[in-house]
Amino acid sequence: MASKLSNSVLYLMSLSAGLVVANLYYNQPLLNLISDSFNVTEAAVSNVALSTQLGYAFGLLFIIPLGDKLSNHKILQFDFVLMIAALIAAGMSQTLIALIVSSFFIGFTSAIPQLFVPMAAQLSDENERGRAIGIVMSGLLIGILGSRIISGFIGDAFGWRVMYFAATVLMVILFIILKWKLPNLKPNYQGSYGDLMRSLWSYLKTEPSLRLAALRGALGFAGLSAFWTTLVFLMEDSFGYGSTVAGAFGIFGIAGALGATVVGKLSDKVSKNKIIFYSALLLILSWLIFMMSGQSIIGLILGIILVDLALQALHITNQNIIFSKHPEARNRVNTVYMVGFFIGGALGTVLGAVAWQQFRWEGVSWLGIILSVLILLAHLFFRKKTL
């Protein structure tokens, strides 16, 4: 049977995922400029980034399950109208409170790329599903990594408000293209929104493969979050560099993001158990390299490439597994998985900061090794129960 998903639509979803998720991260390089603009402290302005991330968490939990109940075009129409309004409001904010509230809604509506991943899985043939997921994930990851670079440049050249207005124009154009080109999917779920939300717990409780995938994803993302949280401290402590250089290291993570496409193809042909096993080993190797690279830029670059590649291999394989189990509820199982993934990232940020404070870079490296070993052990001990 021929695939229902053309390459043009697949790459449109990949591009869209990257452009929308970038809205989450534009503010991070702009915080100093925003702080000066409103004459507030760095601690106060950090609430802009926090509010955006909280908004994303709420959007992930309350919007994405709707993909199993409502037409994707209807969800996109509501979401993009609110997103565009929030971006305009952020650019026009005259107080920090107004910017914080606007940022929450930017984060809330920017969870929408998580609809594109199960959409790609649904529209693909079974033997092409991994490839499709990998391509969409590559776009999403490049959007995350590239957004900070673009935002820093525009902010320095034109001011922080221009970044929000530029993002507004991008979202208007993107919405028109998606409305025109994206297939209109109409799911069959007939229950209420309350029933839809309650079913999230049901899938978590009854599906061992989903629980194990969420655990693996959470542990992997916890390690990556610990790394990016503490890298700026290492740059200042060991090399005398600031946050700009630390952020520029994201460029090397793009290599891992591009590798997501290759891994997606592999997951259609190679045993998923093997991919997860070797991904966990590669994560452990990455953290060993990090441990030995406290004084080596080259070592850090190599570690970043490997850790991003390993995590994306793990992440894409996890999603391929969970999407194959419940085709009627792909958005809900993706919600459960991504909430676990997000919780892991938040926990990793906290643990990474504590590890740095107590034991510096060696402590952070040991944290990453322990988290990666836990992924391997969880997979080896519980995988048979999930088949």
pLDDT tens, residue by residue, 184-198: 888 878 888 999 999
- First-to-final CA distance of the chain: 26
pLDDT computed for residue 1 by the predictor: 35
pLDDT tens, residue by residue, 102-158: 999 999 999 999 899 888 888 888 778 778 888 888 888 788 878 877 887 888 889
pTM beyond 0.95, yes or no: no
Percent pLDDT > 70 in the chain is: 93
pLDDT computed for residue 214 by the predictor: 94
pLDDT computed for residue 327 by the predictor: 79
> Domain coordinates of the chain in residue numbers?
8-181, 199-387
The candidate with the shortest Cα–Cα distance to 20, out of 139, 149, 154, is 139
DSSP string, 95-118: SHHHHHHHHHHHHHHTTTHHHHHH
pLDDT tens, residue by residue, 297-344: 999 999 998 998 899 889 888 988 888 888 778 889 989 998 888 888
The candidate with the shortest Cα–Cα distance to 171, out of 296, 26, 301, 349, is 26
> d(Cα 342, Cα 337) in Å, to the nearest integer?
9
In this structure, which topology does domain 8-181 adopt according to CATH? Growth Hormone; Chain: A; (1.20.1250)
State the pLDDT confidence band at 2, using cuts at 50, 70 and 90.
Answer: very low
Please report where in the chains the tokens 């293209």 appear, as a residue. 177
Is the per-residue pLDDT at 259 higher than 90? no
Residue 41, SS3 per DSSP? coil
pLDDT tens, residue by residue, 351-372: 888 898 899 999 999 999 999 9
Q: Do domains 8-181 and 199-387 have the same CATH topology?
A: yes
Helix (H), strand (E) at residue 162: helix 160-181
Q: Are 60 and 186 in contact (CB under 8 A)?
A: no
Please report where in the chains the tokens 């740059």 appear, as a residue. 235
Superfamily classification of domain 199-387? MFS general substrate transporter like domains (1.20.1250.20)
